[in-house]
Amino acid sequence: MSGADAAPTVLVLRALGLGDLLTAVPALRALRRGFPGHRIVLAAPAALLPVARLTGAVDRLIPAAPLRPLPPVAPPAVAVNLHGRGPESHRLVAALRPRRLVAFRCPEAGVAAGPEWRADEHEVERWCRLLGESGIPADPADGRLRAPPLPAALAPFAGATVVHPGAASGSRRWHADRFAAVARARAVAGRPVAVTGSPGERDLARRVAGGSGAVVLAGRTDLAALAAVVGSARAVVCGDTGMAHLATALRTPSVVLFGPVPPAEWGPRGGDGRHAVIWRGRRGDPHAAAVDGGLAEITVDEVVARLDAVGRFGASARG
């Protein structure tokens, strides 16, 4: 057995999406600092491995799906539930028989001790507080990532405005024709535009690109290449999705359109002006199929104006 294999393990459950992983980066880095002689093992979807590597805080990723049993592993020294507060996720990590469990209090799962959950807390602050109140200092500002090099095949898209129209639910998906109008406005202004998305969002991306001359990158990049594109972009415009958190982590200027969920809980942190949010101030159902009413009220002119405003933080001025 190698020295690395013999090291005690901190196993972290965060079997969610891209944005969820990115909001947990400060907590993961706190665990790296707090347990310097341990291996940090992240239980998360396998597709997130490229971004997990960018954090510098994860030694190994074991593939995991939301609230599904974890693969067999040796009992960790520490298990950390960064997944949620409910009994299902608590039982998953407790089943690993860790010597120590770090989690929010959940009497239903037999976890009588631990910090209390706060419903309206920002997602970054929430997991840093869990660790801080468990004796593991965490810095909520420690979420920045360094973009990987831009592959040669994608070099022509450096400096583009990235338009990302997709979202996991219809309630958080602004109208495609309005994203298309934003793409046309940027193209008319002489800005190159790239439309991104998953393989399943190619048709949506093509509709948004339309006759604007925008390049469709949807389905053509893995997460490492997507991070490289975003890191080199002039700006990003998207809904309340993982792309928004990627732009924040890479300090790429962004305009994020919020609908059912307030930016106070999931929005970009920091006040230097490079990340603009638009929200009508009303909560809704984040899992609904129809576009949220407040999100539907956001106009193309508003978005284009915000893109112009954040443009002063272009790639040459990031630092």
Q: What is the predicted pLDDT for the residue at 294?
A: 97
Architecture of the domain defined by 3-132: 3-Layer(aba) Sandwich (3.40)
218 φ/ψ angles, rounded to the nearest 5 degrees: -55, 130
pLDDT at 317: 45
Encoded tokens for 32: 């790296």
Q: Is the Cα dihedral 4, 146, 248, 143 positive or negative?
A: positive
The rounded distance, in Å, linking the Cα atoms of 114 and 312 is: 44
Q: Which CATH superfamily is domain 152-317 in?
A: Glycogen Phosphorylase B; (3.40.50.2000)
pLDDT at 188: 85
Widest Cα–Cα separation across the chain = 61
pLDDT of residue 314: 63
pLDDT of 198 reads: 95
Query: In the chain, where are the structural domains located?
Result: 3-132, 152-317
What pLDDT does residue 85 have?
94
pLDDT tens-place values along the chain, 319 residues long: 334 557 999 999 999 999 999 999 999 999 999 999 999 999 999 999 999 999 999 999 999 999 999 998 999 999 999 999 999 999 999 999 999 999 999 999 988 889 999 999 999 999 999 999 999 999 999 999 999 999 999 999 999 999 999 999 999 999 999 999 999 999 988 889 999 999 999 999 999 999 889 999 999 999 999 999 999 999 999 999 999 999 999 999 999 999 999 999 999 987 688 999 999 999 999 999 999 999 999 999 999 999 999 988 765 444 4
- Whether the domain at 3-132 and the domain at 152-317 fall into the same CATH topology: yes
Instruction: Supply 170's token pair.
Output: 């219809």
What was the pLDDT predicted at 6?
Answer: 78
Taking phi first (over 0 means left), then psi (-120 to 50 degrees means alpha), and beta for anything else, what does residue 68 get? beta
Q: What is the pLDDT of residues 216-229, one digit of tens each?
A: 999 999 999 999 99
pLDDT at 5: 59
